[in-house]
Structure 1
Amino acid sequence: MYVFVEDIRGEGLDKVLDRVAGYGVRGVTVAAAYHATRDVTPHGQSRLTRRRDGVHFTPPEDLFDGLRLTPPVQEGAAEEPLAALRQAASVRGIAVHGLAVFLRNATLGLAHPDVTVRDCFGDRGSPADLCPAHPDVRAYARALAAAVARQGVDTVVADSLHFRGLDYDRSAVPLGPMDAYLFSLCFCDFCMRRAADLGVDAETAREECARIVGGVLDGDPPAQGEVTRAALTAYAGPEVVAYARARSETVTSLVSAVAEAVAEEGSRLVFLDATGAVKGDADGLPAPCLAAHDAWQSGVDLLALGDLVHSFGVCAYARDPARVADDVGAYRRSVGRDREIRVVLRPGPPDTDSAARLAAKVRAVRAAGARAVDFYAYGLAPFPVLDRIPEALSQTP
């Protein structure tokens, strides 16, 4: 079960853990390092909870000493809520995993704009998106991973450890999926240099992206259809596709460094791929292309990561149990059948409208080879929705 420190603090640690244990859940994944957001929390101390960028612990000085980027510290971190959670969970036989959001931090991005992504027009309009190619960001990610592992968690669940898609509040321009993708590509000096080192004409790729996206912003019709390598080649040309593919080296090498840092602290890394969450977040009706096949768009090379990481988190945000099973199967084939797959399900809307549907999805993912089923998230779902979990966990393939 995914849980937030703010929810535990509001309801009471023992009360939350007793309820979670009553569902038959054997572990909690606590948001040790998270990003700013505002959540409707139906049974929280506040019904609208504001979460801030930062960590719920005091950053170890030896890990961040000399680094330009250090994580903001959450209110109440000095009370060591993670240590209290770990102790109370241990008494109940509940494992504790630490969720770390790595490259999504507007507080750091606003303070240090040069470490954020730079689009094809040269703008840095996404302060929350830290660029995984920037050396300062890479050093920060490695230190953050070690810091979370040092909290004594069983695993570090790595969220946003890759490039992210275009995020904006408003647009009166009907950007198509491929236009939005081209707009999201980072052309900072470090990204362009890495691509050039791999033989890509990075400047030509940038110019093509600016030409195409600029045309749509000027009134050209947007491109339709899903983003595939074939469609993107036809729309933007091979150099743009080569540039997009080159991003996987940046992500793979960063994940390798983070996994090493976690291992040095005696824990292990779970790589959480957000592709499935992005595809089905709004309505639980993802486009036909499977999440594992779209992961490359964020620079995620699942074949390469399968050699580096033992455990993968798959966000299966879909209404249809068969689609959920297909997504799990595609991940297993991509990362290797000996790798652990942890499937993240939402027990309520918009993905799940009944206990029967949740149970059907649990059966489906287990039959597809998932090692574990995780539920997102305790504080976001009403109690009647959470009450579906015991029946779902009793299912067999």
Structure 2
Amino acid sequence: MDSSVYVFVEDLRGEGVERVLDRISAYGVRGVTIGAVHHAARDITPHGLSKLTIRRDGAHFPPPPDLFSGRRLKPTAGHQDALDGLREACTRRGLTLHGWTVFLRNATIGAAHPDVTVRDCFGDRGSPSDLCPAHPDVREYAVALARAVARLGVDSVVAESLHFRPLKPERSFVPLGPMDTYLFGLCFCDYCMRRATDLGVDAAVAREECARIVGGVLDGDTPAQGEVTRAALTAYAGPDVVAYARARSETVTTLVSEVASAVAAEGSKLVFIDSTGGVKGYRDGLPSPGLAAHDAWQLGVDLVALGDLVPAFGVLAYARDAARVADDVGAYLRSVGKDREVRAVLRPGHPDSDSADRLVAKARGAKAAGAMAVDFYAYGLVPHPVLDRIPATLAEAL
């Protein structure tokens, strides 16, 4: 069974490529998933040179001029030499190398080009970090970025944020319910509206309904409670809004198809990560009841359609319960097809795994449900004693 450890370039810069890879090799995993393109973050890094690491938006390699010359959107420059020699160092140890790529989450690009970011039902730009997958310039950027990472000689391009993202306000003293938050997070930019209209959706009515409902709650109306389901959303917001939400899947599916084809043309393959599992369980490892595969539509992800286009999928199995991990993996496989490679991404420590036994149980559950690989997230974010659970997990569970 395949396996890898997610690694940030700051880990390599702080500890050195050889030291990090020697430690990872000793865990018995088969590969490294390196953060070739990442978003800005502020992370506690327990064994890094800095215990608080400030990450900036960046592509950690020189962008090929033939891919980005003349394009409006270009990768934000990161640590351009961070990956030098990494491919060769992995080969010497028999490790595969995967290029973890964050596509449409980039506040630097969004701040420089606000028109390529999502726009809510009130006409406001929701967040500079959320690039809209319907915008033509964003789509060209994503395809070129995928080609650039594939050219690094990676065995796969691991795609994160290649879909719409949910609304995540830093502060809200208004008790928005889950459905209100979802409606507030829908993008109504010109390109999203046009694509929905082309599919027969009355996009203007959908926007008006979202503005009416969310505006009412902001003015003091009682927010709706309960899980976001298509049936509940239809009853709450009406069929035009649900049809608009469904239309987003065409935007994502066609973009992912273009990216997968571009990666394949460069001799690599795409591993698509749907962030729904992270949305549900990131904070505490206690995801809401609906399985991630069943709720992926909320981000515009049509797993059934992508199953015909993408060879491999990463499942963010951010849950404390081994049975939930197995259920999530099984639901993905039923959606994308039993012949597709599904990789379960596990967090080996807090908040998901309070012991080595729990991590082993979750890895066993993922394997029993049909996962072909288990990946561990992430090297620089957890203490060494937690990382030391990986060898026993691989030996006992896989």
Q: Tell me the TM-score normalized by structure 1.
A: 0.98
**Residue of structure 1 equivalent to 2:382:** 381
Q: How does 1:128-143 map to 2 (within 5 A)?
A: 128-143=129-144
User: What amino acid is the match of 1:352?
Assistant: S
Q: Contact conserved, 1:53 with 1:106, CA < 8 A, in 2?
A: yes
Corresponding residue number in structure 2 for 1:60: 64
Taking only the aligned residue pairs, the percentage that are identical comes to 74
Deviation of 1:396 after TM superposition, in Å, equals: 3.8
Paired with 2:229 and 2:309, the residues of 1 have a C-alpha distance of 26
Give the AA of the match of 2:60.
H
> What is the alpha-carbon distance in structure 2 between the residues aligned to residue 176 and residue 86 of structure 1?
47
1:327-382 Cα distance to aligned partner (Å, 9 max, x none)? 00000000000000001000001111000000000111001100000000000010
Aligned to 2:354: 353
Provide the rounded CA distance (Å) in 1 between the counterparts of 2:7 and 2:291: 27
Distance 1:252 1:51 in 2: 30
Partner Cα distance (1:313, 1:260) in 2? 18
The residue aligned with 1:180 is 181
Counterpart residue identity of residue 9, structure 1: R
Matched with 1:265 is 266
Q: Conserved in 2, the CA contact under 8 Å of 1:126 and 1:167?
A: no
Deviations 1:28-68 (A, max 9, x none): 10000000001000000100001111100000000011210
Partner of 1:284: 285
Does 1:165 pair with 2:166?
A: yes
Indicate the residue corresponding to 1:15 in structure 2.
Answer: 19
Cα-to-partner distance string for 1:92-139 (whole Å, 9 max, x where unaligned): 001100011000000000000000000000000311000000000000
Matched residue count: 394
- Take 2:265 and 2:67, find their aligned partners in 1: how far apart are those partners? 12
Taking the TM superposition and a 5 Å limit, the aligned residue runs for 1:208-357 are: 208-357=209-358
3-state SS of 2:370 partner: coil
**Aligned mates of 1:179, 1:59 — CA distance in 2:** 40
CA RMSD after TM alignment: 0.7
1:220: how far off? 0.8
Partner SS, residue 342 of structure 2: strand
Q: Secondary structure at the match of 2:84?
A: helix
3-state SS of paired residue (1:271) = strand
Please give the alpha-carbon distance, in whole angstroms, between the structure 2 residues aligned to 1:396 and 1:37: 33
By how many angstroms is 1:146 displaced? 0.2
Please tell me the residue identity of whatever aligns with 1:347.
Answer: P
Partner of 2:126: 125
TM superposition outliers: structure 1 runs of 4+ over 2 Å: none
Q: Which amino acid aligns with 1:353?
A: D
CA distance in 2, matches of 1:396, 1:191: 45
TM-score normalized by the length of structure 2: 0.98
Aligned positions of 1:38-117 closer than 5 A: 38-74=42-78, 76-77=79-80, 79=81, 81-117=82-118
Local SS of the residue matching 2:310: coil
**Distance of 2:160 and 2:385 partners within structure 1:** 28
Deviation string for 1:230-263 (max 9, x for gaps)?
A: 0000000010000000000000000000011111
Aligned-partner residue type, residue 357 of structure 1: R
Tell me if the contact between 2:57 and 2:107 (Cα under 8 Å) persists in the aligned partners.
Answer: yes
Q: Show structure 2 runs of 5+ residues with no match.
A: none
On the 8 A contact 1:83/1:151 being kept in 2, the answer is no
The CA distance in 1 between the partners of 2:116 and 2:142, in whole Å, is 12
CA distance in 2, matches of 1:177, 1:245: 18
Q: CA deviation at 1:276?
A: 0.4
CA distance in 2, matches of 1:305, 1:262: 15
Given candidates 21, 25, 31, the residue that maps to 2:29 is 25
Distance in 2, matches of 1:95 and 1:137, equals 30
Secondary structure class of the residue paired with 1:319? coil
Tell me, yes or no, if the aligned pair for 1:362 and 1:395 is still in contact at 8 Å.
no
Instruction: Give 1:221 shift.
Output: 1.1
CA distance in 1, matches of 2:244, 2:342: 29
d(CA) in 2 for partners of 1:286 and 1:396?
23
**Match status 1:150 vs 2:154:** no
